[in-house]
Structure 1
Amino acid sequence: MSDIKKICFDRILARDLHRAILFRNIEGTTRTRAISPIGKLWPNGSTLRVSFLGGTAQQHDVVKTFAPQWSRFANLNFDFGTAPDADIRIAFADDGAWSYLGTDAKGIHVSRPTMNYGWLDEAVVLHEFGHAIGLAHEHQNPEEGIKWNEEAVIRDLSGPPNYWDIATIRHNVLNKYAHDQINGTVFDPDAVMLYAFPREWTLDGFQTKENKTLSAMEKAFVAGEKMYPGRGSQPDAVELDVLEFEGTPASIGLPGEEDLFTFMVKSPGRYTIETEGETDLVMKLYGPDNRTNLIAEDDDSGKGYNPRIGADLIPGRYLVQIRHYNRTGGTGDYTIKVYK
């Protein structure tokens, strides 16, 4: 058997166990949509709170030393503390290295970790925090074209030290994302998000090296328009008036663009936030007074392909994030309103 090193695996939510799901019939048509890293990004400019569930001071220091490298390029910050409801909660169990992808972490109960380190070095810290900010495995890039020797991959990863079942192997290694499932670049052989695997795992002898630092392409990508641009800035959010029946006009002017809106709730009650128009949109609601606390997410609950969120809200300030469903190519006009 090949000299197989321990490698990371993704934690996925129950709703994401299948890459494609059939959505409800809208105006007499059906369409298949995919579950993917698209839609898992934190609001740009966020400060993500990070806490440790156990571990030693030395282990904590290793994570604190290397994780902030992402913040030199992505417009995100990490605040290491002891908050029990931190956005990223790290354990050090003998359970491999893994992390939930991006905002999937908000769906995990506060008593449970969202990231785990079964071993520690610079590469694994960067890799898992890459997942935590929404990056997928590079070898699952649809542009990479790796010709897997599936029998060898399954044989090796089924045994020590990983002991994965076939479904886990396919999810983490063999399956590729479709082009419309991801925001991506061409295949990056220098990415820290790429597994190191031996030539025996491919039919043509192709192999990859172990990458221990962020690649130039990764640095540019996380700082780009499709992830977290504007390092050091706080993107402006348009103020919405509650009970605004006419709606505020807005537009997704460029593919990958995200619009931010904010509104103030002064009295508790049931509030509705919705868009109108012909543009296919996705909406996320955060708050109160917290840009990373995801309250709800919606795609097509409104008219046509418009999102609508109804939620019982307490006093405080809320953030609404709007993007086109087709993040790689979609643009269009819409209006947005919030009412009680």
Structure 2
Amino acid sequence: MKENLKICHDRLLPLDLVRPQQTIRLGTGPVQAVFVFRKMWINGSTLRVRFMGGTAAQQAIAKEQALWWLPHANLKFEFNNAPDAEIRIAFNSSDGAWSYMGTDCLSIPRDQPTMNLGFLDGGTAAHEFGHTIGLAHEHQNPSGGIEWNEEVVLRDLSGPPNNWTPDQIRHNVLEKYAVNQIKGTEFDPDSIMLYFFPDTWVKSGHGTKENNALSALDKVFIASEQAYPHAAVQAIELGVNAAPVSTSIGKPGEEDLFKFTVKKSGRYIIQTDGQTDVVMKLFGPNSQTGLIAEDDDGGFGLNSKIAVELIPGQYFAQVRHYNKAQGTGSYSIRVNRT
């Protein structure tokens, strides 16, 4: 086995840790439970980055590899060390490499990191920034076809340098995402989101290689309509206390963006209507990354409803189907001040 094998581990919000999970595992074992949603930023977002320590050389590597994504993804990174930056990076060598996924970063207190680069081997920083923009581990792709020698994996990862518990090993390596929980491609053996795994860990006797650069498929997917295409982002205007706007999720994976202006502080209700199972996020004020609230079935039936106190400013509501892989359907959306 490769010495000192280092593997990134996922960071989940406490709320996700207690939710029923929905993953599949290859083989004849029982279906396991993992709650993993792709938590995409609004397309075209600017994400600010603050370094919480690290040497000039470490920071330079992190910045260089983060920028690998930007020719392909319609996102921007500003390395301005803003106190309220969406992405905050620590370099604690005793805490491994990890990142919260996508918009989960917004739920972390501002004095705490959303990413740790405890080692910077190869393309580690690019891998962690992949998580930050919403990408999952490629070896947990349900199209992967990897059949693990579980006993060997459990034995090796329970020792140094990872020292993981069996539950951590199952979550970070052995379990597969359910097909209806992710947007993605067929398994990509060249992906930056895939780690090196030794031959002894895999039943076929053929492990995976170490990938230290974005693959061709990484670049194509992150630029696709399912992720962050460079097409202009058009937000539909909503009037406060105006007639509902009727629209639809026309194809799987589509995410609709709406904006409205609050002129007077007060309690506002943003809600959808119809038979389509949608999820809504609210961002603002005057920010497409400042997550205020998220709702799934808070309205009537399968509709979303957010009731919140708002101050003057511009707000953005992002709506997607609950089933990202297959869901489509019509709905309407409205904003009322109560």
| TM-score for the superposition, normalised by structure 2 | 0.93
Separation in structure 1 between the aligned mates of residue 127 and residue 203 of structure 2, nearest angstrom? 26
Corresponding position of 2:320 = 323
- Percent identity, aligned pairs only? 57
TM superposition shift of 1:4: 4.2
Question: Does 1:170 pair with 2:170?
Answer: yes
Do the aligned residues in 2 keep the contact of 1:157 with 1:163 (CA within 8 Å)?
yes
Alignment of 1:226-305 (within 5 A): 226-230=226-230, 234-244=232-242, 246-305=243-302
TM superposition shift of 1:206: 2.0
Corresponding position of 2:59 = 60
Separation in structure 1 between the aligned mates of residue 18 and residue 175 of structure 2, nearest angstrom? 11
Separation in structure 1 between the aligned mates of residue 261 and residue 122 of structure 2, nearest angstrom? 42
Q: Which runs of 5+ in 1 are unaligned?
A: 23-32
Q: Deviations over 1:98-142 (max 9, x none)?
A: 000111111111010000011124510110000000000000000
Corresponding position of 2:181 = 181
Separation in structure 2 between the aligned mates of residue 65 and residue 145 of structure 1, nearest angstrom? 33
Do the aligned residues in 2 keep the contact of 1:8 with 1:96 (CA within 8 Å)?
yes
Separation in structure 1 between the aligned mates of residue 317 and residue 150 of structure 2, nearest angstrom? 43
Task: Give the counterpart letter for 1:71 in structure 2.
Answer: L
Corresponding position of 2:48 = 49
TM superposition shift of 1:63: 1.2
Separation in structure 1 between the aligned mates of residue 7 and residue 155 of structure 2, nearest angstrom? 15
Corresponding position of 1:30 = none
Corresponding position of 2:90 = 91
Q: Which runs of 5+ in 2 are unaligned?
A: 23-32
SS in 2 for 1:134: coil
Separation in structure 2 between the aligned mates of residue 86 and residue 185 of structure 1, nearest angstrom? 31
Q: Quickly say closer, same or farther: Cα 1:330–1:194, change in 2 above 3 A.
A: same
SS in 1 for 2:280: strand
Q: Quickly say closer, same or farther: Cα 1:139–1:19, change in 2 above 3 A.
A: farther
Q: Quickly say closer, same or farther: Cα 1:135–1:239, change in 2 above 3 A.
A: same
TM superposition shift of 1:3: 2.8
TM superposition shift of 1:36: 1.5
Separation in structure 2 between the aligned mates of residue 34 and residue 262 of structure 1, nearest angstrom? 33
SS in 1 for 2:123: helix
Do the aligned residues in 2 keep the contact of 1:19 with 1:36 (CA within 8 Å)?
no
Q: Please point out which of 308, 314, 319 is paired with 2:305.
A: 308
Corresponding position of 1:70 = 69
Q: Quickly say closer, same or farther: Cα 1:118–1:34, change in 2 above 3 A.
A: closer
TM superposition shift of 1:234: 4.2
Separation in structure 1 between the aligned mates of residue 122 and residue 96 of structure 2, nearest angstrom? 16
SS in 1 for 2:256: strand
Task: Give the counterpart letter for 1:130 in structure 2.
Answer: G
Separation in structure 1 between the aligned mates of residue 270 and residue 19 of structure 2, nearest angstrom? 28
CA-atom RMSD in angstroms? 1.5
TM superposition shift of 1:18: 5.4
SS in 2 for 1:295: strand
TM superposition shift of 1:21: 5.7
Corresponding position of 1:36 = 36
SS in 1 for 2:106: helix
Separation in structure 1 between the aligned mates of residue 175 and residue 324 of structure 2, nearest angstrom? 21
Q: Deviations over 1:9-56 (max 9, x none)?
A: 11111122256369xxxxxxxxxx973233x00000001111111112
| TM-score for the superposition, normalised by structure 1 | 0.93
Larger mean Cα displacement after TM superposition, 173-182 or 246-255: 246-255
The number of equivalent residue pairs is 326
Do the aligned residues in 1 keep the contact of 2:13 with 2:104 (CA within 8 Å)?
yes
